[in-house]
Amino acid sequence: PMEKEWNYYRKKILQDAVYNHLLPLLKMEAKNALVKEAKEWLKQELSDELWKVVSVAPWAPETDEDDGDSRDKQIMTCVWGPAKDSSQGSATTFAILDTEGDFKDFLEVPAFSGKLFWSDNCQDIMQDVRSKAAAASIKDFIMIHKPTVIALGSGSIECLRLKNILETIVSDIVVNEAKALRHDIQVILASQAIPHLWTTSSAAATEFSNVSENVKEAIALGRVFVDPLPLTASLFSQQKEIVGLNLHEAQQFLSLDEQVSVLEKCMITIVNQVG
């Protein structure tokens, strides 16, 4: 009887040690190991995604002996706006920058803001009563500045319709104003992710304190188009705006400091490679 009782207590002690102490400890260690592994994987994913965004080769104008110094060339950017009335928000905005990213001029076009379903057929856009005044203002803007390229933000499905509109206006200039504009102007869709984030950054507020957000975004779109590194680097401020960049659906599982740390390392690597 005594031996059976001892065996009983030995079994109870072993069960308690295994199920109440050892297994919970092993589960915790396994969980911590899995969390660490998942975080390392997620950090690498964030780094890879930022790399894809920022390591894009900067746009450079084609050199042509007849066109003069490439530094004199200008680019035009366009950011679609949702509001046809300024009281309801921002209108579609155009900006002009030189190839150094310096801001020169802007134009707001409420008529080409909001829903553009009517613009699916752009053939009559220069004569249509709903669009001819706005189309003429854009045409004049292009004629004045003679941009080498138009970078169009791709943040909305409406941007595809806006691209058709701009290509129609450019074609009209090439056909009817051949002497004034000796080359075609390509309309290129460009990501608005970093430009949109920059509009509310401390860097944007410091440089353009009295400029609307859509104008800021158009400026940022041009600067990223010319060279994405400097503007992206400005998002690594004390406000840590860079963490607002949506790079992965699970990035919220990393702390803000963890996100900033891995993105900073990625930026340093890119800058070191570029020189």
89 and 34 in one domain? Answer: no
- pLDDT beyond 70 at 118: no
**CATH code, domain with 135:** 3.30.420.140
153 and 241 in one domain? Answer: no
What would the DSSP string read from start to end of 108-161? EEGGGSS--GGGG--TTTTT-TTTHHHHHHHHHHHHHH--SEEEEE-SSTHHHH
71 and 158 in one domain? Answer: yes
Which helix H or strand E contains 39, and what residues bound it? Answer: helix 23-54
239 and 179 in one domain? Answer: no
33 and 13 in one domain? Answer: yes
204 and 88 in one domain? Answer: yes
How many domains does the chain divide into? 2
Q: In the prediction, which pLDDT does 15 show?
A: 86
107 and 205 in one domain? Answer: yes
239 and 205 in one domain? Answer: no
258 and 221 in one domain? Answer: no
Q: In the prediction, which pLDDT does 184 show?
A: 83
- At residue 137 the predicted structure's pLDDT band, cuts being 50, 70 and 90, is very high
Q: Max alpha carbon distance in the chain (Å)?
A: 113
- At residue 275 the predicted structure's pLDDT band, cuts being 50, 70 and 90, is low
148 and 73 in one domain? Answer: yes
121 and 200 in one domain? Answer: yes
250 and 127 in one domain? Answer: no
Q: Are 274 and 266 in contact (CB under 8 A)?
A: no
Range of the domain at 71: 65-226
pLDDT tens profile 229-267 = 999 999 999 999 999 999 999 999 999 999 999 999 999
pLDDT tens profile 29-82 = 999 999 999 999 999 999 999 999 898 888 877 765 455 555 568 999 999 999
Which helix H or strand E contains 49, and what residues bound it? Answer: helix 23-54
Token pair listed for 211: 């400029």
Q: In the prediction, which pLDDT does 120 show?
A: 58
Q: Taking residues 202-228, report their average pLDDT.
A: 94
- pLDDT beyond 90 at 106: yes
